[in-house]
Structure formats: structure tokens, C-alpha cells
Amino acid sequence: MSVAATTSPAFGTLYVSPSPRSRGTPRVTMALRSVVSVGSILTKLQQDCATPLPVIRHVADSMTADMRAGLAVDGGSNLKMILSYVDSLPSGNEKGLFYALDLGGTNFRALRVQLGGKEERVVATEFEQLSIPQGLMFGTSEELFDFIASTLAGFAEKESKKFHLPHGRQREIGFTFSFPVKQTSIDSGILMKWTKGFAVSGTAGRDVVACLNEAMERQGLDMRVSALVNDTVGTLAGARYWDDDVMVAVILGTGTNACYVERTDCIPKLQGPKSSSGRTIINTEWGAFSDGIPLTVFDRDMDAASINPGEQIFEKTISGMYLGEIARRALVTMAGEGSLFGRAVPNKLSTPFALRYILACD
């Protein structure tokens, strides 16, 4: 007599067979090939991801050096250390109707807020959020900005009676654009390059505020961009509205970035008149940092297959746009070498970025 019983593929197969020495008494053997294989992959992954104190210190020192080099001169390091031209932050006394537009990742948001000063603070808010169609992430500049302006026009038409615009005033909008921009003033900036999986043609080297203004004109939308900010700068300003001690903002979403308040006398590349406050917000664009960051084979393979190999390494190791893909590649390897899911790799798992939208949180 022989009996075979199969367990979960992750734990191998249990075979029960008669022993020639025991006159039919079963002998139990377990094949653990898959467990050993998956275990070794996970052990290697853990080793490659390790961040002992010396590694953390090296990464911190390298980032500090890159920040100083970026403040000294444009192009001084991988960290752009972009001047935001935001030299003063909210005090809580602000009043009126304001619109905001946020383009920073897989989602696009439009918002309006009625501010009532320190006594009433935020009187009313309304917002809409839409996912950016995949095709627009690889389309033309006009297509992308027309989509944004069209959505914004529809949103403005639904303005309720809770919001009040003084007679004769034009609606103002703050444009949060979370991609590397060389800002030339508070309301203008030249796109340096697309990140976070975007590859829109016809925008790099152009003023993104002009792109939005032109699209709003095509939609017949009477609105003026009063400020262009990065999402980190917007986050810092929003937090400062409630807490005067806020000095740093960090974004962990589709991508990653950080900004902070810097003294103007610590920015050698800042030319011309200094702000009266003596301070300004610096947009670090730290997603481009790479020196000393521990990388696994899955990180390297994903980077090589990306639309911008060798760039945005820090962003690719910690942000929602890429974490799902790194996990997918590790699972595919464990499935192929360790039969994690049985004899075949699930079809859906073979699709690049299949886990992207599960982990993206922007």
C-alpha cells in the first residue's frame, strides 16, 4: 500500500510510503525544497536591506553634504535644493475664498476653501479628486493640462453659497505641482524633468504656470494662478497655518520629497535682494539622492527596467509608485525558484506594476 498527501506548496509535499524494513509500516518523508529556497531568498533580501548604524550614519552624512553642495550652486549635487520664493508663511489671519490645484502623482485634486481668520479659521471646504488616466501620463502637455483645466472648470461651476468672493475680484488659485521645477518667481517655474512615472511630451523646459493658464483660457475659465508651489512646500505652509513651530515637511506618497525653512545667509547661490524675513523655504527634491543607499537585486532590476534608469534612486526605494513593483519582483522570484504559489507563477503577478495602485497613496 502507498499513500501520498500533499500540503501547501510553500511547505513542500508530504509523502507516506511503506518501509521495506517494517513490513508495511509507513515511513514519512517531507520534501522541503520550496521552504529552503524561499527562506534563502528572504534571508538574502534581509541582508541586502540591512541598515546598521554605520550605514545610516554614512547615508545621513552623504545627504548633508549633498544638501550643502546644492545650496552652494545650481547643479552642485543630485539634490536640487530648489528656491521656492516662499519667504513668508501663513499666520492664521488670512481671510477670503481661495482655490487650490494639486498635481503630484497618480491623483489630481481640486479644492476650494473659505478662510475666516484666527477666530473662524477654515469656514468651509469642498474638493474633488480624480485619478490621472494612464494615457495622459505619456501623452502631450496640451492633453494633460486641458484635462486639468476642464476638471477645474467643472468644479468651479459647482461652487456653493457657503463661499463668498468679494465683488470685482478674480478667483485666485494656488498650483501645487510636485515635480522638479526651477522656480523663477512665486508664480512661475520651468519644468526640469518629469518623475513618478510621468513622461509627458512638450512640457520640459516650459513654464508650467503658462501651460495651465493657456489651458484655462481654452476652457473659458476666469481664474489667476497666484502661487506655484511643490507639494512639500504646500504641506509645510498648511501645517504652519495651525502651528507656528513647523519647520519641515516630508511627503511619502506616489513619490517622496522634503522641504524645510532655511536662513537666506546660508544659501550661497541665492543672488539679488534677500527676503525681509531672512528665511525662505528650500525644496530639496531628495528623491534623487542615491549615495550609500542599500539596494537589493530587485531594486536594481526595477531601476534598470524603469523609464529613468539610474535616477530617483531614493524615491524608488521608499515610495508608493515603486514599492509594489519591488514586492512583485520578489514574489515572482520566490514563485519561480521556490514554488511559492505552486508549480506556476500566477498570470497577474507576471504583469509589471500589478501591485502599484495597491500601495500608492498619493
Q: Where are the domains of the chain?
A: 91-229
pLDDT at 35: 60
CB 180 within 8 A of CB 80: yes
pLDDT at 34: 59
Q: Mean pLDDT over residues 112-141, rounded?
A: 92
Residue 362 has pLDDT above 60, yes or no: no
Q: Mean pLDDT over residues 247-259, rounded?
A: 94
Stronger pLDDT, 5 or 153, i.e. the higher one: 153
What does the pLDDT look like over 304-337, one tens digit per residue?
999 899 999 999 999 998 999 999 999 999 888 8
Q: What is the dihedral of CA 134, 113, 189, 91, to 10 degrees?
A: -140
User: What is each CA distance from 147 to 31, 72, 313, in whole angstroms?
Assistant: 57, 38, 30
pLDDT at 82: 92
pLDDT at 36: 58
What does the pLDDT look like over 65-75, one tens digit per residue?
999 999 999 99
Residue 97 has pLDDT above 70, yes or no: yes
pLDDT at 39: 86
pLDDT at 10: 39
pLDDT at 298: 95
pLDDT at 149: 95
- Residue 26's pLDDT band, with cuts at 50, 70 and 90, is very low
Residue 212 has pLDDT above 50, yes or no: yes
Distance from C-alpha of 102 to C-alpha of 106, rounded to nearest angstrom: 11
Rg of the chain on CA atoms, in Å = 26
Q: Mean pLDDT over residues 47-54, rounded?
A: 93
Residue 196 has pLDDT above 90, yes or no: no
Q: Can you read off the three cell numbers belonging to residue 2?
A: 502507498
pLDDT at 343: 78
Q: What is the mean pLDDT of the chain?
A: 86
Burial class (CB within 10 angstroms; exposed 0-12, middle 13-18, buried 19+) of 248: middle
Stronger pLDDT, 359 or 351, i.e. the higher one: 351
Residue 354 has pLDDT above 70, yes or no: yes
Q: Mean pLDDT over residues 105-115, rounded?
A: 90
- Highest mean pLDDT of the ranges 57-71, 161-175, 317-331: 57-71
Q: What percent of the chain has pLDDT over 90?
A: 62
What does the pLDDT look like over 219-235, one tens digit per residue?
999 999 999 998 899 99
Residue 7 has pLDDT above 70, yes or no: no
Burial class (CB within 10 angstroms; exposed 0-12, middle 13-18, buried 19+) of 309: exposed
Per the CATH hierarchy, to which homologous superfamily does domain 91-229 belong? ATPase, nucleotide binding domain (3.30.420.40)
Distance from C-alpha of 20 to C-alpha of 278, rounded to nearest angstrom: 89
Residues marked as catalytic: 196, 231
pLDDT at 125: 94
- Residue 216's pLDDT band, with cuts at 50, 70 and 90, is very high
pTM reported for the whole predicted model: 0.77
Stronger pLDDT, 77 or 362, i.e. the higher one: 77
Q: Mean pLDDT over residues 271-281, rounded?
A: 86
What does the pLDDT look like over 282-309, one tens digit per residue?
999 999 999 999 999 999 999 999 989 9
Residue 242 has pLDDT above 70, yes or no: yes
CA-closest candidate to residue 260, choices 59, 71, 61: 71
Q: What percent of the chain has pLDDT over 70?
A: 88
Residue 19 has pLDDT above 70, yes or no: no
Q: Mean pLDDT over residues 145-162, rounded?
A: 94
